[in-house]
Structure 1
Amino acid sequence: MKITLCSIGKPHDAALKQSVEDFSKRIANYYPTDWLIIAPPKNAGVLSADDLKKAEATTLLQQLAKDDYIVLLDERGKNISSPELASLIQQRGNESNKRIVFLIGGAFGVAEAIFKRANFTWALSKLVFPHMIVRLILAEQVYRACTILRNEKYHHI
Structure 2
Amino acid sequence: MVAGGASDTGGVKPMAIAGRMVRERERLIGMSPDERAWRKQWIKDQELHHGPCKVPALERELNNPIKRVYRAPLDIITKALTPALGFQRAFTVRYWTGKALIALTGIYAGAYYLKYNQNDWTRKGGWRVISSRKACVPGDEGYPRVSDRTEPADYAARGFKQSPI
Does TM, normalized by the shorter one, top 0.5? no
Indicate the TM-score class for this superposition, using the shorter chain for normalisation. Answer: under 0.3
The structure richer in helix per residue is 2
Normalised by the size of structure 2, how large is the TM-score?
0.19
Q: Rg bigger for which structure?
A: 2
The structure richer in strand per residue is 1
Normalised by the size of structure 1, how large is the TM-score?
0.20
